[in-house]
Amino acid sequence: MHLSPEPMSATLNFLSDRINSLSESETLAMSRKSRELQAKGIDIINLSIGEPDFNTPDFIKTAAKEAIDKNFSKYMPVAGYADLREAISKKFKRDNNLNYSANQIVVSTGAKQSIANAMLCLLNPGDEVLVPAPYWVSYIEIIKLTRATAVIVPAGIETNFKITPAQLKKFISPKTKMLVYSSPCNPTGSVYTKEELKSIAELISSYNNIFIIADEIYEYINYVGKTESIAQFDFIYDRVITVNGMAKGFAMTGWRIGYIGAPLAIAQACDKLQGQFTSGASSIAQRATNAAVSNSDLSGVIAMKDAFQKRRDIILGLLREIPGVKSNVPDGAFYVFPEVKSYFGKKFNGNAINNAEDLSMYLLTEGHVAIVSGGAFGDKNCIRISYAASEPQIREAMKRIKEALSQLK
């Protein structure tokens, strides 16, 4: 007897609660929708994804080609090649004044995996994780996978989207196990100063067994000076996992290399976990990474940062010309996170804009510009616009956004 296949909705019952509870990345979802419209011949400007529009520097590509010719095609140590971990150790000391020995470093398939490794190694069901909002979208979903609970600590545009120790303290409970944050921040571009980080470190150190994941992936895209690391303070060093990677600063998003510096026991736990999931990251990408982190000449990185800063200034100027849009001045990364709540309740052709998600879809379908709703990042009053695009694209996109918003009544 021939059995008809069950409808997709029925098959979802067979999937685990874990995967059914997980949300799709809204940044990737918006990029997918953009590609679908582009495939139909619609001219979409995609400002939704956080990817430098620069190419990987030639000296890094040369190192990868040499690795292929030298047959770096075998299994590698799970935590990364020894010489790469030594190079990262020296990089931490050179750029961040952090003392992580090579055996405290684990190289992974992107900083996203580095964060997931650390969370899976530290969190138990019922633990609580302090997540300052706005936050990077994947923090919440990775926390879900651990069956811990995300405790959102809101920070608005009036404080430049940064939390204070007094505010943070209100959310600490006996179940608190971790604080996770990024600086420079995705999505707001906010950067914590050394003094701000020290005050947060002093608060966390007064509690037992609260760990910190410090996401520094945007380290080199900082317009106000050196990115400060919370692990620099001796009194909290043993409870900090410093996360970094190659994607943003070296335009290596597709190479998929991230890494941590962590207390030895945590690094060993991440090595153990990774050994059962993915083993070591790509051998060729690791050789390319070695060339990048071993190079103390950051002139190429600085030139890219300067280009992003120029674009930031352009987009901020254009945002100021749009009535009802309010923005902070990002100190790093390559995003603006403007507040757009003044447009909520307005309509176009009888269709109401009730929230930032509606506005994002409206700007995609009517303005032909892809951005991301702030709700994905924990602030429903804002939208995230990436300026990792050419200046002509930015100018045209902002022209379209301004025109589309002007049609809302």
299-321 per-position pLDDT tens digit: 999 999 999 999 999 999 999 99
Q: Is the pLDDT of residue 5 over 70?
A: no
Q: Give me the pLDDT at residue 9, please.
A: 55
pLDDT tens digit sequence for 42-93:
899 999 988 899 999 999 999 999 999 999 999 999 999 999 999 999 999 9
pLDDT tens digit sequence for 82-109:
999 999 999 999 999 999 999 999 999 9
Q: Give me the pLDDT at residue 337, please.
A: 98
pLDDT band at residue 163 using 50, 70 and 90 as cut-offs: very high
Q: Is the pLDDT of residue 25 over 90?
A: no
323 is in which domain, residue-wise?
8-54+300-406
pTM score of the predicted model: 0.94
| Residue written as token pair 């600490």 | 172
Q: Is the pLDDT of residue 160 over 60?
A: yes
Q: Is the pLDDT of residue 1 over 80?
A: no
Q: Does any domain span residue 68?
A: no
Among 35-44, 244-253, 353-362, which is the least confidently predicted range?
Answer: 35-44
Q: Please choose, from the candidates 286, 296, 254, the residue with its C-alpha nearest in 3D space to the C-alpha of residue 74.
A: 286
Q: Give me the pLDDT at residue 13, please.
A: 82
CATH assignment at residue 401: 3.90.1150.10
Instruction: Judge if 107 and 194 occupy the same domain.
Output: yes
What percentage of the chain exceeds 90 in pLDDT? 88
Instruction: Judge if 283 and 333 occupy the same domain.
Output: no
pLDDT band at residue 27 using 50, 70 and 90 as cut-offs: confident
Instruction: Judge if 279 and 351 occupy the same domain.
Output: no
Q: Is the pLDDT of residue 171 over 70?
A: yes
Nearest-angstrom CA–CA distance, 366 and 368 = 6
Instruction: Judge if 264 and 345 occupy the same domain.
Output: no
Instruction: Judge if 350 and 335 occupy the same domain.
Output: yes
pLDDT tens digit sequence for 212-252:
999 999 999 999 999 999 999 999 999 999 999 999 999 99
Q: Give me the pLDDT at residue 3, please.
A: 45
Q: Does any domain span residue 316?
A: yes
Instruction: Judge if 313 and 263 occupy the same domain.
Output: no
Nearest-angstrom CA–CA distance, 199 and 107 = 30
Q: Is the pLDDT of residue 7 over 70?
A: no
Rounded mean pLDDT, 333-341: 97
Instruction: Judge if 152 and 282 occupy the same domain.
Output: yes
Instruction: Judge if 50 and 188 occupy the same domain.
Output: no
Q: Does any domain span residue 319?
A: yes
pLDDT tens digit sequence for 194-206:
999 999 999 999 9
Q: Please choose, from the candidates 127, 129, 377, the residue with its C-alpha nearest in 3D space to the C-alpha of residue 241.
A: 129
In this structure, the dihedral spanned by the alpha carbons of residues 301, 302, 303 and 304, taken in order and rounded to 10 degrees, is 50
Q: Give me the pLDDT at residue 110, please.
A: 97
Q: Give me the pLDDT at residue 2, please.
A: 44
